[in-house]
Amino acid sequence: MAIPRFSSLLRFRKLAKSDWLVASIGFVLTVFFLSFFFDPTSDSTTLSVDRSLPISDLVKLKLSSKAKGRRAFCLDGSLPGYHFHEGSGSGSKSWLVHLEGGGWCNTIASCSARAMTKLGSSNYFEQEVAFQGVLSSDPSQNPEFFNWNKVAIRYCDGASFAGHPEAEFKNETRLFFRGQLIWEAIIDELLSMGMSDAKRAILTGCSAGGLATLIHCDYFRDHLPKDAAVKCVSDAGFFLNVPDVLGKPTMSSFYHDVVNLQGIGKSLDQKCVAKMEPSMCMFPHEFLKYIETPVFLVNPAYDLWQIQNVLVPISADPDKRWAKCRLNIKDCDAAQMKVLQGFRSSLMDAIGEFHQNKDGGMFIDSCYAHCQTVMTVTWHSPTSTRIENKTIAESVGDWYFNRNPVKLIDCPYPERRFLKLLNAVES
């Protein structure tokens, strides 16, 4: 494969001055939309309403008709739901199922708080949401999948659709850890709506939904026709088990609490669980090799959420030395950039084995972002990041339809500035 062309944030320098405003506004809005914290009330990776879109582009909410009988409830006991847009023409037998993101909860207190938001209760779901990016029905914005049946499953369990009832606390909190049942109930419902006759299908999701995509990828494949072309696309779901800047295991400790609280062990890859502590099997690096269904990874090498919450959580920056750098990678000094390059190296090491997987694909860009498939500006637009002159949408399309192998990795950010900073640090 040719060396990937550097084409992330710095490529905006090539734009004409008249294009700078549009590109800058798009990037600022992207970062605002994509950043979120462990805070269970945060919703910036969730689906949203865009009133600037035509009413025809807003998709109505449907509460699951099978959930009550399966006792599949959101954290607060309300019914889970999804948004469905019917396919047409050549896409009538094709299905794209998207799993919404939005972090996790690891304590009774955080789950109780989450249960009072749209990340834990359907009582707060929007009745209509915008389908953008990979969910868009506009061929100019979503050239490969615009006319497919498209489903967005709302996220209201706090454990990547993987919690189990036996882990529930029978006390006054009245929390329901039933993510696995939500997943199974809605998939059964979609199968009864025509997905059982699918010829093509993709399971995708962003952030916690991207992790859920990997957790449930083979289940999705196993419940569809054997002759269907079924693949999975995980967006910003490759969370790393790296210590924070103080050397503390922030993410592994957090996952340990999530797994134990919500009884996720049974949903995780059992080959992985047989070899190590279950919470370690929340990290894709540990279980990706066991997934039999073809997988495509969309991930920024400088994942904004992971840098802000895993590498440099607020608790690890008491003197606020990282305050500016955490918000904008361009404000990082030489020493901080060296740490961020180390984070990128950890990602490169973690995906090294997957890079050899002949059926797998990847698009690892150098943007400071989190979740890039759910917004048109990052999925497929004139200002979208490109690697080897391909947008994420074009890269996923080439991979899904077997037109070309796709293993795209962008150069470090920013290529020239990075080298200058490294020289400064080492001198």
| pLDDT tens digits for range 100-122 | 999 999 999 999 999 999 999 99
For 294, the 3-state DSSP assignment is: coil
Beta strands per DSSP E along 154-212: 200-206
Determine, yes or no, domain membership for 98: yes
Q: What own/partner pairs with CB < 8 Å and gap ≥ 24 does 313-316 have? A: 313/244, 313/250, 315/244, 315/250, 316/244, 316/245, 316/246, 316/248, 316/250
Structure confidence by residue, pLDDT tens digits, 23-77:
333 333 333 333 333 443 333 466 765 555 555 579 999 999 999 999 999 999 9
Q: SS3 of 397, please? A: helix
Cα-Cα-Cα-Cα dihedral of 111, 114, 120, 122, to 10°? 150
Residue 105 lies in a domain: yes
Least confident of 111-125, 132-146, 156-170: 156-170
Report how far apart, in Å, the C-alpha atoms of 408 and of each of 144, 194, 287, 341 are: 19, 34, 22, 18
Encode pLDDT of 279-311 as tens digits: 999 999 999 999 999 999 999 999 999 999 999
The residue range of the domain holding 126 is 9-426
Cα separation, 101 vs 239, in Å, equals 13
Residues annotated catalytic, as ranges: 207, 303, 370
What is the structure's pLDDT at 414?
78
Interior/surface letters 214-229, b for 16+ CB within 10 angstroms, e for the rest = bbbbbebbebbeeebb
Q: Are 295 and 232 in contact (CB under 8 A)?
A: yes
In a domain, 277, yes or no: yes
Confirm if 84 and 62 have CB atoms less than 8 A apart. yes
219 lies in a domain?
A: yes
Angle separating helix axes 334-350 and 415-426, nearest 10 degrees = 110
**Which string of DSSP letters, residue by residue, matches 138-164?**
-TTT-TTTTTSEEEEE---SSSTT---
In angstroms, how far is the first alpha carbon of the chain from the final one?
Answer: 34
CA 420 to CA 257: how far, in whole Å? 41
Asked whether residue 1 is assigned to any structural domain, the reply reads: no
- DSSP-derived secondary structure letter, 59: E
Q: At residue 257, does pLDDT exceed 70?
A: yes
For residue 227, report the phi and psi dihedrals to the nearest 5 degrees: -90, 5
What is the pLDDT, as a whole number, of residue 2?
33
- d(Cα 376, Cα 138) in Å, to the nearest integer? 10
pLDDT value of residue 166: 85
Per-residue pLDDT at 4: 34
Residue 160 · residue 151 · CB < 8 Å: no
Report if residue 3 sits inside a domain: no
Burial group, residue 126, by CB count within 10 angstroms (0-12, 13-18, 19+): middle
The count of other CB atoms within 10 Å of the CB of residue 32 is 9
Q: How far apart are CA 341 and CA 344, in angstroms?
A: 5
Distance (Å, rounded) from C-alpha 219 to C-alpha 215?
Answer: 8
Model pTM score: 0.87
H helix intervals, 248-381: 250-262, 270-273, 284-287, 304-306, 323-327, 334-350, 376-379
Question: Which residues make beta-bridge pairs with 234?
Answer: 205, 297
Q: Does residue 244 sit within a domain?
A: yes
pLDDT at 252: 97
State the burial class of residue 378 (Cβ atoms within 10 Å of its Cβ: 0-12, 13-18, 19+): buried
Give the residue from 153, 240, 156 showing the smallest Cα distance to 188. 153
pLDDT above 90: percentage of residues in the chain: 81
Q: Is residue 370 part of a domain?
A: yes
Into how many domains does the chain fold?
A: 1
pLDDT at 426: 54
